[in-house]
Amino acid sequence: MLSRAITSVLNQSYKAKEIIVVDDGSQDSTSEVVKTFDGVLLLRQTNLGVSAARNNGIMMADSEWIAFLDSDDEWHMDKLKEQVALLKKNPEAVFSYTDEIWIKDGQKINIPKKFTKLDGEIFKDSLDFCNIAPSSALIKSSIFKEIGTFDEELDVCEDYDLWLRILKKYPISLVKKPLINKYAGHEDQLSVKHWGMDRFRVRALEKLHTVYSSDKDIIETVLKKYELLLKGALNNEKYDDAEFYEGRLRYFKTF
């Protein structure tokens, strides 16, 4: 998968200035695979997680714009070209993404309607779940100094957390073409390893609330998610969790 991902970057019709692969303490041949490609930089870290991997890559990068590509995904040949063309038409833009294709077990699958990509001011629409694949994102590097980087305390939903922080201040530009392949079905996917993704989303939303305490959309979304988490905890007889969720519900109902 890593070889496929790197090759898809090298084959871009609009060439990337630099390619950085972050090896997060893998026990396979990741580093050896990277070394087979000329001009690809390798950064090694020891099991610090996906957020630290992306953050360290951001720090190492020396470009005005930064794109991400998960090792199990793939860019189409004109991915960067199409995004750069769109950004040139919108010189005020700082954040761009593309549509995508989903492939599971080698077969293209239909994408549910709720995952339809949106353009422009999409903060409110992104609160329930964020529909921006990291592998499709292209971001002006200066934004990370203003907004911050990925939250290394979050095991998953770290992209949801960062995207919301950016989208609260900036619109997003969408290339309305499927320019990445997202692959599913393999066992090491983070979304497969972790149950109850809303457990992590509410942490991101609570962080936002500390900055935007009067934002009713954030409060409504937090309440909805805690109600769902409470119901799930009670159904599974996790009473300590249920007590915690009840407490958070009481707190957010005061706003």
pTM: 0.92
Predicted pLDDT of residue 31:
86
Predicted pLDDT of residue 185:
65
Angle between the N-to-C axes of helices 239-252 and 216-235, in degrees from 0 to 180, rounded to the nearest 10: 160
Evaluate if residue 194 carries a pLDDT over 60.
Answer: no
Evaluate if residue 90 carries a pLDDT over 80.
Answer: yes
Q: How far is CA 210 from CA 106, 203, 206, 207, in A?
A: 43, 11, 6, 5
- Residue 42, CB-side half-sphere exposure with 13 Å CA sphere: 16
> 2-189 is classed in which CATH architecture?
Alpha-Beta Complex (3.90)
Q: Locate the domains of the chain by residue range.
A: 2-189, 198-252
State the Cα torsion 104-108-113-115 to the nearest 10°.
60
Predicted pLDDT of residue 53:
95
The pLDDT tens digits of the residues spanning 197-249 come to: 999 999 999 999 999 999 999 999 999 999 999 999 999 999 999 999 999 99
Predicted pLDDT of residue 165:
98
Predicted pLDDT of residue 26:
87
Give 29 or 59, the one with higher predicted confidence. Answer: 59
Percent with pLDDT over 90 in the chain: 90
Predicted pLDDT of residue 192:
45
Q: Look at residues 248, 145, 141 and name the one whose alpha carbon lies nearest to residue 205.
A: 248
In DSSP terms, 43 is beta-bridged to 22
Evaluate if residue 66 carries a pLDDT over 60.
Answer: yes
Predicted pLDDT of residue 137:
98
Rounded to whole angstroms, the Cα distance separating 54 from 252 reads 32
Rounded to whole angstroms, the Cα distance separating 27 from 18 reads 25
The pLDDT tens digits of the residues spanning 151-174 come to: 999 989 999 999 999 999 999 999
